[in-house]
Amino acid sequence: MNLTISGHHLEVTPALREYVLTKLDRVTRHFDQVVDVTVLLTVEKLKEKERRQKAEVTLHVKGRDIFVEQSAEDLYAAIDQLMDKLDRQVMRHKDRVQDHHHATAKRLGAEVS
């Protein structure tokens, strides 16, 4: 898995990097076919009162790219909410990819006879 963590208008500290890695651990535990992850952390300076922290993730899995973004006043809160969204989308993708065609009991009984 290739991982890129970058910052726009902020420096990615080792603490931020470690926090993102621990949060991404939950996503990769649910779905292990992750090829590439790109994380972009941004500070938007709109006005002095309205400083907004934004986190974006592009997750490349087999067959699809998943993009999620979230903004909040605190960067750690934005990362938390982002990982929740990403986890839901990854689980939905995993559910779609899995084969849900099970043989029915009627067909199983007919094959045994």
Rg (CA), the chain: 19
Which tens digits make up the pLDDT trace of 28-57?
A: 888 888 889 999 999 987 766 566 899 999
Cβ burial, residue 90 (10 Å; 0-12/13-18/19+):
buried
Q: Where are the beta strands (DSSP E) in the chain?
A: 2-8, 34-45, 51-61, 64-72
What would the CATH number be for the domain defined by 2-112?
3.30.160.100
pLDDT at 79: 95
pLDDT at 112: 56
What is this structure's pTM?
Answer: 0.79
* Residue 43: closest CA among 83, 86, 11, 67: 11
Q: Give the whole-number percent of the chain exceeding pLDDT 70.
A: 82
Which tens digits make up the pLDDT trace of 2-36?
A: 999 999 989 999 999 999 999 999 888 888 888 89
Which tens digits make up the pLDDT trace of 57-103?
A: 999 988 889 999 999 989 999 999 999 999 999 999 888 888 766 66
pLDDT at 50: 64
Could you tell me the residue ranges of all domains in the chain? 2-112
Rounded CA separation 88/74 (Å) = 22
The average confidence (pLDDT) of the chain is 86
Cβ burial, residue 101 (10 Å; 0-12/13-18/19+):
exposed
pLDDT at 42: 93
